[in-house]
Structure 1
Amino acid sequence: MRVEMEEYKGYVLQIEDDAKLTTRVVRNVLNSITRLLQESEKKSPRNLMKLLEDSKGFIGVVEFDDERVLPLIPGEFQNSWSLVVVTLTAIVIALPSISNDCVKDLLFSISEGIYFVRHVEENLNPCEDLVKSRKASRRVGAEVDVYRTWLQIDLRKKARKGKRSKEILQWLGDEAAEHVKQYKNSNASLNHSFHKFIAAICMYRTSQTLLLHYNAQPSWPTDMDVFERVRSLIADIFLACFTNLSRVIKMKCHHDEIEKRQDSVRTAAQILGKSKAILNILQARQLPDIDMDSMAYIDKWRALSKNEILSEIDIERDGNRVDRITYPVIPHF
């Protein structure tokens, strides 16, 4: 215990830089964090783990948006992790002939996964466009979760009328395109409907990508096959996003403001406790050749080729390249 306390004294919250804490205080602090970690581990996201364990890798992060889908407007649009997941969630709810139990299980998994996604985005995606995308995902996500609607459109409407998944995907794409058209004609780039515009672009591209994929098949798949593909995309996107959790945890353990450091480190301990099983899955995965900063952005992942996602990389590090996920050493406040 004495060796452990000496190791972590440098991380302990100090009132002044030169302040020295007694062995008793350090022991109490370490015990407090240990209890918090243990309590958080008991809250491991069980539904999310079932989803992630079915994932074979990260391929979904390059397959949810096909570059062959023509843009509705010129210029680039930045995706956020959460908005893509919320969009895929809306599609899941809209699909016909899927049992309520299957849908509920997936929605529970997504809810648990979004908790970690939020931490990644809030700490590693500070640019203005992604902040706007994140706000859009919160607004739309709340609507999808509570009312089962997307931009005030009843997601179960077509399913109740006996429509097939192909017709539903086309319908969602058409509705999204109409929202984009209305926004462009309003000439109000900063009005309250901007979040709808962002969400509509994401829905259009995602639904059209699924249509493009299945239209290339010899025959249209069953509704359950479509559900399983969307489920797989969500799992892979979650896993790619979660490769940033170690970095988030470390950042929270080194907060610059002393007044906020204690709460920040406690949050880090909670994230670590809840995500320990997730990190175990990631430790067995090898990553594509992508630098640490780019890992934080879904569009950086999407820019990779499928071969880069599928190919194994050397275990030795090459510059900033990351090969395996490692547990962070958690400093104590």
Structure 2
Amino acid sequence: MKQLVLSVHEGLMYVRLIEDNLDAKGELTNSRKAANVVWLGVDLYSKWLDVDLRKLSVQAESTKEILEKLSDVAKTRFVECKKIYMNQCLKERPSKWPIKVLAANSMYRISQTLLQNCDSRNEMDDERLFEALTVMISDILGACLTNLQRVIFYCLSRAVIEREYCVRKTVHILGETEKIRKLLDQQPVSTLDPDQMACIEEWRSLNDLKISSPFIPSSANSETVFSTSSDLYLTME
């Protein structure tokens, strides 16, 4: 679990870079703030929306019970917050909802998705459930990282006044992400066009069309990149 947290922490550095460059209109500002609030709680305090994950892991008898608790807490928090911000939630699209509402809604949906995996596989043990969580995270990070090349070109095309700084920054990014870019170049990642690849909703629509299993079985000889049809899976190392 510690390695997974470290991997997400590292991946989020590039996610924020990509979002800073592609979300020019600020459409996802609240969503990004909500994600940062939730992640800081997990990363620094082992808490998810004030739920002590360490204490919960000791009290619960199984991983499924932990997910059920998180789902219940998130649902309660979502209902309470939405009542407070009812007018704003009715007027605005979900991406513009208040940070607390977005965070609770996200927590509930993630918990429910994993619980559905449990229910669809009666014999799913903790190890397999953890693997499903890992692949869920890597799917999202992998989708976001496909935009790295676009961000690099964007940085290079900035105004002349900014170019010297942008070039230095871009060279730094190129060096840090060399391995990631090699993985992404090994095969076509998806059928989405560049504009669609920058939108998580488009990836979700593509995911709905998948025929394959929702997670990749573990294997001692597994490759760094897995592919089913045009979908990409990046393992956490």
Is the shorter-chain TM-score for this pair beyond 0.5, marking a shared fold? yes
Structure 1 position 114, deviation (Å): 0.7
Name the aligned partner's letter for residue 112 of structure 2: Q
CA distance in 2, matches of 1:156, 1:108: 17
Q: Which has the higher helix share?
A: 2
* Percent identical residues: 37
Q: 1:220 to 1:189 in 2, by over 3 A?
A: farther
Aligned residue number for residue 283 of structure 1: 185
Larger relative contact order (CA 8 Å, sep ≥ 6): 1
- Once residues 161 and 146 of structure 1 are traced to their aligned partners in structure 2, the CA distance between those partners, rounded to angstroms, is 21
Output the amino acid matched with 1:247: R
Structure-2 residue corresponding to 1:207: 111
Answering whether residue 149 of structure 2 is matched by residue 254 of structure 1, we say no
CA contact (8 A) 1:136 1:196 kept: yes
Q: What's the counterpart of residue 175 of structure 2?
A: 273
Contact 2:114 2:132 in 1 (8 A): no
Counterpart contact for 2:78–2:104, Cα < 8 Å: yes
Q: 2:229 aligns with which of 311, 325, 329?
A: 311
Distance 1:255 1:150, change over 3 A: same
Q: What is the SS of the residue equivalent to 2:61?
A: coil
1:170 maps to 68
Aligned ranges for residues 74-153 of structure 1 at < 5 Å? 103-153=1-51
| Runs of at least 5 residues in structure 2 that lack an aligned partner in the other structure | 90-96, 213-226, 232-237
The offset of 1:237, in angstroms, is: 2.0
| Count of residue correspondences | 208
> Does the 8 Å contact 1:176/1:200 carry over to 2?
yes
The reply to whether residue 242 of structure 1 matches residue 142 of structure 2 is: no
Give the structure with higher Rg (CA). Answer: 1
Q: 1:307–1:164: structure 2 CA closer, same or farther, 3 Å change rule?
A: closer
Distance (Å, rounded) in 2 between the aligned partners of 1:263 and 1:245: 18
Shift, 1:165, TM fit: 1.1
Q: CA deviation at 1:131?
A: 1.4
For residues 230-272 of structure 1, the C-alpha deviation after alignment (integer angstroms, 9 at most, x for no partner) is 112222222221111001001001112x332221221111111
* TM-score, normalising length: structure 1: 0.58
CA RMSD of aligned residues (A): 2.3
| Secondary structure of the corresponding residue to residue 28 of structure 2 | helix
Change (3 A) 1:310 1:224: closer
Contact 1:148-1:156 within 8 A present in 2 as well: yes
Please report how far the alpha carbon of residue 188 of structure 1 lies from its aligned counterpart in structure 2 after TM superposition.
6.1
Taking structure 1 as reference, are residues 117 and 144 closer, same or farther at Cα in structure 2, changes over 3 Å only? same
Report Cα offsets for 1:73-102 as digits up to 9, x if no partner. xxxxxxxxxxxxxxxxxxxxxxxxxxxxxx
The whole-number CA distance in structure 2 between the counterparts of 1:115 and 1:206 is: 21
What is the distance in 2 between the residues matched to 1:126 and 1:132?
14
TM-score, normalised relative to structure 2: 0.80
1:160 to 42, 47, 58: 58
